[in-house]
Amino acid sequence: MGNKTNTKNWNVRERLTHIERLAYWRGWVRRADLCGRFKISIPQASADLAAYMRLNPSAISYDGSSKRYIAAEDMACRLKTPAFEDALNFISTSVPISQGVDQVVRIDLPARHIPINAARNVIRAIAGARSLEIYYFSIHSATERWRRVSPHALAHDGYRWHTRAWCHEDKDYKDFVLGRISKTRSLTDVGSPSKHDEDWSTWVNIHFRPHKELTLVQQKAIEHDYAMKNGSATLRVRKAMLSYTLNYLRLAPDTPSDEKKHLELVEPTTILLRSAGST
């Protein structure tokens, strides 16, 4: 009995998706790609490739001279929408390093330390809707002390992780940077916060466009870079994350005037800066 491919099987679906990913990003795929990654036989790899060709007939075709399945120039994916993250993973793991040079690199940034035990207890508090005491180093108040908080979410501001939590001392919701929590204690139930976190549940639209001081060519470059439509773009963010987003995009009101700007807010844009900031 010859090898067959059941396209409804989860493992088979993973192999077919791998075929599609390789063909789309690299331009070709071989049976050996499947055999090496999934530890299957050559006949089974042939059956999988045949199954994919039935599923997506115009995507790939076999080239006898190179013994590869070549992707069509206008290949469309059927199993998974192409994502650039897939390409990064593919080129980092599937493309041989040429002359000792890595193909994918990122800038080296200082590590933002997160104490694992403290983070674990914060997550347990979130999962159990409980409170805990954290020993926190605050830049805003220039203090270090124990605080009781009731965290309800984790958030990343583009640079670091923090927990969104009710501060039982200040009677308000605040952001506590995980890297500034040195230790925790007394995970317990102390009752619900006295009010709802409106800033977390409220959404705000940020409308932005290329900066007016850019040349027309530069503005077109920015429009293309941010996939703008009709010369502008809209970003929907939580009110609690608004100031972080504006800072990341260099759209915050206090952005230095001498800093080169590529974007500007579209008027009228209502900026509802939250009152409770990072501590």
Taking the model in full, what pTM does it have?
A: 0.77
Please check the confidence at residue 86 and state whether its pLDDT lies above 50: yes
Please check the confidence at residue 145 and state whether its pLDDT lies above 80: yes
State how far the Cα of 120 lies from the Cα of 132, in Å rounded to an integer. 12
Q: Averaged over 242-260, what is the pLDDT?
A: 86
Give the pLDDT score at 7. Answer: 60
Give the pLDDT score at 9. Answer: 86
Closest CA to 75 of 34, 23, 30, 13: 23
CB 146 within 8 A of CB 201: no
Domains of the chain: 10-93 (1.10.10), 116-194 (2.30.30), 199-265 (no CATH)
Give the pLDDT score at 22. Answer: 92
In sequence order, which residues have a C-beta less than 8 Å from that of residue 207 and are 6 or more positions away? 232, 233, 234, 265, 266, 269
Q: Averaged over 34-55, what is the pLDDT?
A: 95
Confidence of residue 179 (pLDDT cuts 50, 70, 90): very high
108-123 tens-digit pLDDT:
888 888 999 999 999 9
196-240 tens-digit pLDDT:
999 999 999 999 999 999 999 999 999 999 999 999 999 999 999
